[in-house]
């Protein structure tokens, strides 16, 4: 079984400015946190940064 590393990510909506801090993983170069949509119904326009420990 492959060990999956989880990281903390800060996600900011570029439309309304809402911020989220979520655990997630990087899979095939893409961030997976489970966030589907912001409170303002934005589904695509996000700024994602990995929090350094």
The length of the chain, given as a count of residues: 53
Q: Tell me, what's the pLDDT at 46?
A: 96
Give me the long-range contacts of 15-24 (CB less than 8 A, separation at least 24). 15/40, 15/42, 15/45, 16/40, 16/42, 21/51
- For the question of whether the overall pTM of this predicted structure is more than 0.95, the answer is no
pLDDT tens-place values along the chain, 53 residues long: 567 789 999 999 999 999 999 999 999 889 999 999 999 999 999 999 999 87
User: How many Å separate Cα 38 from the centre of its chain?
Assistant: 11
The structural domains of the chain, with segments of one domain joined by +, span 7-50
């Amino acid at each position: 079984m492959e060990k999956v590393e989880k990281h903390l990510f800060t996600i900011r909506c570029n439309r309304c400015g809402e911020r989220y801090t979520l655990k997630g993983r990087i899979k095939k170069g893409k961030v997976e946190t489970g966030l589907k949509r912001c409170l303002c119904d934005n589904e695509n326009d996000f700024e994602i940064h990995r929090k350094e420990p």
